Amino acid sequence: MPANLKTVVRLDFPYDPVMGARFAREADIELRTCKREGADDNAWVALAEAHVYLVSSAKDELPRQWFATADLLKRCPRLVCVSATGAGYDTIDVEACTRAGIIVVNQAGMNARSVAEHTLGMMLSLSKRLTESDRRLRRERGYAREELMGREISGKIVGLIGIGHVGRRVAQLARAFDMTVLAYDPYVSAEEIARRGARSVSMDEALVQSDFVSIHCPRTSETLGMMDARAFARMKKGAAFITTARGGIHDEAALFAALQSGHLSGAGVDVWDQEPPPLQHPLLTLHNVIATFHTAGVTTEARRATAEQAADQIVGILKGGRPPRLVNPEAWPAYRARFKTIIGLPA
């Protein structure tokens, strides 16, 4: 066994084998997989020895005791890094990590292409009424095709709320369909938004002008509940709403009301307050809602890229490097001191 063995601990969620293969190439890094249900004592023993905790971003699939909270961190004295398995980090208390001198990293952008394709798929399905047509053809006969008449997305306006990793790819795909792309993102300059293929507008302009409003921003204190009844009312009558971002950014009851009233023509919803939503959820009763179970980024290619990036980033961290996807850079000074003490290398 190497004298300075570094330990990475993860729970037994499915992951692409490329991750284990990457760690296996490092003689001084050990990957331990613990059960998320039962055998808690074994998991706590492993976490007490862990240098890196690789935690799932799926807030409704991860048992609460394994969230990276202040209480968990207290039981992990050797921990220097918490790594989210995806772009989101809903299961990590970033402030608690920062206070403890622990860095947080994610895999932002690794599933962006998959999420962007899912977004365009929802736009096409809503416009062409593919899901409605499929459901109806399976249960009815005697209706006219014109009852399911759709529309082209070419020439329509899409308003992106957020134009980061995913949003810029949606813009690229939308332009291939001759769509006009607007974008609201208070953290990106108008010049940069233009370089990413969109015209910079205010939030209100995006809502009022767009035939499709698509959400691509993180869930934060600023964005939580951002798409509320007022926001849906500002949208163009007959427009469609799409979200592949995070549950909680849109108000589900307000979206249901806007659809039921006929103000909005349809919605594509991949993310929910509770995942999966209950079978009795009101949105699931509407024929003009395409509902998916947070699967926009769940593709073979995205999972492989995410696993590979997560492993590469962790290996770089444990060799003393600064990670490319650092969520809390303010923790870096305290982290460097802890890293040198715990790992024995300068960071």
pLDDT of residue 19: 94
Residue that wins the pLDDT comparison between 10 and 4: 10
Alpha carbons 293 and 277: distance in angstroms, whole number: 8
Could you identify the residue written with the tokens 């066994």? 1
Q: What are phi and psi of 85, to 5 degrees?
A: -75, -15
Residue 39 banded pLDDT, cuts 50, 70, 90:
confident
pLDDT of residue 347: 75
Q: What is the pLDDT of residues 69-126, one digit of tens each?
A: 999 999 999 999 999 998 889 899 999 999 999 999 999 999 999 999 999 999 999 9
Closest CA to 167 of 235, 217, 127, 126: 217
Active-site residue, from 26, 117, 205, 275: 275
The model's pTM is: 0.91
Does the annotation count 165 as an active-site position?
no
Active-site residue, from 196, 246, 281, 338: 246
Active-site residue, from 10, 294, 303, 338: 294
Q: What is the mean pLDDT of residues 208-233?
A: 96
pLDDT of residue 38: 81
Does the annotation count 135 as an active-site position?
no
Cis (ω within 30 of 0) for the bond into 329?
no
Alpha-carbon Rg for the chain, nearest whole angstrom, is 22
Does the annotation count 246 as an active-site position?
yes
What does the angle CA 178 – CA 179 – CA 185 come to, to the nearest 5 degrees? 140
Would you tell me how many other CB atoms lie within 10 Å of the CB of residue 64?
Answer: 8
**Residues 234 and 210 sit within 8 Å (Cβ to Cβ):** no
Domains of the chain: 6-109+300-343 (3.40.50.720), 112-291 (3.40.50.720)
pLDDT at 263 over 90: yes
Token digits of residue 92: 């990590």
Judged by DSSP in three states, 269 sits in: strand
